[in-house]
Chain A
Amino acid sequence: MSGYLTGVLALLAINVIFAYGIFITAAAGQLNLGGAGFQAIGAYGCALLGLEAGLPPGPAIALAALLGGAVGFLISFPVLRTRGVYMVLATFAFAEVVAGVILNSERLGGSMGLILQDYVDIGIILPVAGGVVLFAFYLMSTRVGLAMRAIHDDEAVAELMGVHTRAVQVGCFALGGALAALSGALYALYYGFVEAQVFGPLLSIFVLLYVLIGGTQTAWGPLVGAAFFTLLPEGLRSLAAALGVEPELGRAIEESRFLIFGVIIVAMMILRPQGIVTRDLLERMLPRRRRGAGHG
């Protein structure tokens, strides 16, 4: 496998895990715009556990994910007191606090970041990502997953149906935090360094876009969204190269690929605000046993 392809695959796998971390809360109707904060906690947690505690990658990754889960659990209580756009702002503020702490901490390397001594390759990252995807599909197929989707649709009625909505929401924040931190730990170990600038507001926005554009109704959404967003810029880049355009023009296309990307996002929001993958789409694509009896 070429180095370029491996790099794209690793980034895709990390982004997929990250996207599921945000999806878990979004599926239950809560928008988490603090993704970068959770990912940073995982990345720095993993880096410190390796550098200072001398932990090997496996335990360091697991503990970093647990740390993200614990932070998600704790911040869910103040965050869940807010609704709608205020919740988005609260989670965003959380990520800014995390970034601020890192930038101002000498121990965390400040703006210089940290260089890790350990390394994991794609042979670890891909199976972990696969496991996360399977877990997400499993979770969404349980009654807990059904309860999450019910909360997304109508929290008050879900409560009346016997769903402990608060417990589900807190659980989603904890699990989502753990997955985002897991992606951060893998990121740190794959690239071999962490720096605060990576975990900025744009990252939080992008990962939430993966999820919203992919669709929050089914577990397919984050997979499709992350793939779309990770592969599209690369695809546009390759396209410019493959067309063999003049170097000048090639650079112009390469530079404007984010512009094209932006246009596609806006078009998606107008044409398909519910995301690429919806329940209806799946039902239409899978004409199976449920069809047949017609309408009641």
Chain B
Amino acid sequence: MAEPVLALGGICKSFGGVEVLRDVALSVPRGARHALIGPNGAGKTTLFNVISGVIAPDAGRVMLDGRDITAVPARRRIRLGIARSFQNIRLMPHLSVVENVMLGQHARASLAGLFAPVGLMPRSRAREEAMAVLEAFGLDPHPGQVVSNLPYGVRKKIEIVRALAARPRVLMLDEPAAGLNTAETAALRDFLMGVSEAGVTLIVVEHDMPFVHSLCGHVTVMNFGRVIYDGPAAGVREDPAVLEAYLGHGRGGDAA
């Protein structure tokens, strides 16, 4: 197996008296398609927040390509190659589609690039590039309207494109298939396969198990802030601890 691009060790986090993450370790090889699953409240999103720097862990380390980034602020992590989407879409509602994607390029902009009037240049490289990524995902790059007027499924896709605009090494997606229909989910999987083939490591939080199985080779299962399974996607259905987490004590076999 390739060296890990992302490695977590001993991550703990409590909110008030509630332990949300307990000694979580995770190792994601370069180029992997890694799923993170678990019942609601298992700590998956909190773990995403720790990796992306939104919250600092109480203990433990986050390593990116062998470098300790635990203390690196969130805005610098995207420059180092970690980009993410959100469980509840968090696009900028008053920006247009292309502007949202161009915001994703922010981390790559030079100082001169920050002060270039890209908004006045209809054919700037930044804009063309943003449009190209949108088109690659089958999205209309031209809608002038602000994002808040667009349907849910479209906004969901734009958020993924925005994260990709940062050209990340690691792309973290929080429930990308939620709310999508079967055809859209299949299209999403094909698109993410293409992203993966381009060399981007994927970490996906998802409840849609067929989607997980068709996309990801490796699955980590969390429950009550702990990792209870970490291994090949194929083995997750037979794992007793996972069955117990999802289905309750002892009777896992009945429903599996």
Tell me the A residues contacting B by CB distance below 8 Å. 138, 140-147, 149-150, 152-154, 156-165, 217, 279-280, 283, 289-296
Q: State which residues 104-126 of B face A: CB under 8 Å.
A: 104, 106-109, 113-120, 122
Q: Are B102 and A146 interface neighbours, CB within 8 A?
A: yes
B99 at the interface (CB under 8 A from A): yes
Contacts A142-B119, A153-B92 given; indicate if A292 touches B142 (C-beta within 8 A).
Answer: yes
The distance from the CB of A278 to the nearest CB of chain B, in whole angstroms, is: 8
Q: What 1/0 flags go to B64-104 for Cβ under 8 Å of A?
A: 00000000011111110000101000101111100100111
B143 at the interface (CB under 8 A from A): yes
The distance from the CB of A289 to the nearest CB of chain B, in whole angstroms, is: 7
Complex alpha-carbon distance, A149 and B147, angstroms: 13
Q: Are A161 and B166 interface neighbours, CB within 8 A?
A: yes
22 interchain pairs, CB-CB under 8 A: A138-B117, A141-B120, A142-B114, A142-B118, A143-B109, A143-B114, A143-B115, A145-B119, A146-B99, A147-B106, A150-B95, A154-B92, A158-B92, A158-B103, A160-B78, A161-B107, A161-B166, A162-B76, A163-B103, A283-B146, A293-B142, A296-B141
- Dominant secondary structure at the A interface: helix
B145 at the interface (CB under 8 A from A): yes
Complex alpha-carbon distance, A158 and B102, angstroms: 12
Contacts A143-B113, A161-B107 given; indicate if A291 touches B144 (C-beta within 8 A).
Answer: yes
Q: Are A160 and B74 interface neighbours, CB within 8 A?
A: yes
Contacts A160-B52, A160-B84 given; indicate if A283 touches B95 (C-beta within 8 A).
Answer: no
Complex alpha-carbon distance, A119 and B86, angstroms: 57
Contacts A157-B86, A160-B54 given; indicate if A149 touches B145 (C-beta within 8 A).
Answer: no
Partner of A161, one of B104, B114, B146: B104
Q: Are B92 and A164 interface neighbours, CB within 8 A?
A: no
The distance from the CB of A129 to the nearest CB of chain B, in whole angstroms, is: 20
Tell me the B residues contacting A by CB distance below 8 Å. 52-54, 73-79, 84, 86, 90, 92-96, 99, 102-104, 106-109, 113-120, 122, 138-146, 149, 154, 162, 166
The distance from the CB of A229 to the nearest CB of chain B, in whole angstroms, is: 23
Complex alpha-carbon distance, A294 and B107, angstroms: 31
Complex alpha-carbon distance, A280 and B143, angstroms: 11
Complex alpha-carbon distance, A157 and B83, angstroms: 11
Complex alpha-carbon distance, A296 and B136, angstroms: 12
Chain A residue with minimal CB distance to B134? A296
Chain B residue with minimal CB distance to A157? B90
Q: Are A279 and B96 interface neighbours, CB within 8 A?
A: yes
Q: Are A162 and B115 interface neighbours, CB within 8 A?
A: no
Complex alpha-carbon distance, A142 and B116, angstroms: 5
